[in-house]
Amino acid sequence: MVMIQITVSNTRSVAQKQKLYRRIVERLSDSPGLRPEDVFINLVEVFPENRSFGHGEAQYVR
């Protein structure tokens, strides 16, 4: 079993997320040969104001 957690901004549609999940599983199935049913993906969506990339600032807050 492989668990993947991705933290992203909350800007993607459901269709984009589904495409991402499928593509990740396709690639991991091709190489290194994982079984698709053994790949678990957790997408953690955050708002821009919940991120700071240094200096104690929320750079994406306008």
Residue 55, in any domain of the structure: no
Please report the pLDDT score of residue 28 as a whole number.
Answer: 98
Residue 58, in any domain of the structure: no
In b/e form, how buried is each residue of 50-62, taking b as 16+ CB within 10 angstroms? eeeeeeeeeeeee
Residue 36, in any domain of the structure: yes
Total domains in the chain come to 1
Tell me the pLDDT of the chain averaged across its residues: 94
SS (H, E, C) 1-50: CEEEEEEEECCCCHHHHHHHHHHHHHHHHHCCCCCHHHEEEEEEEECHHH
Residue 27, in any domain of the structure: yes
CATH number at residue 40: 3.30.429.10
Q: Please give the residue range of the domain that contains residue 14.
A: 2-50
- pLDDT tens-digit series, residues 9-27: 888 999 999 999 999 999 9
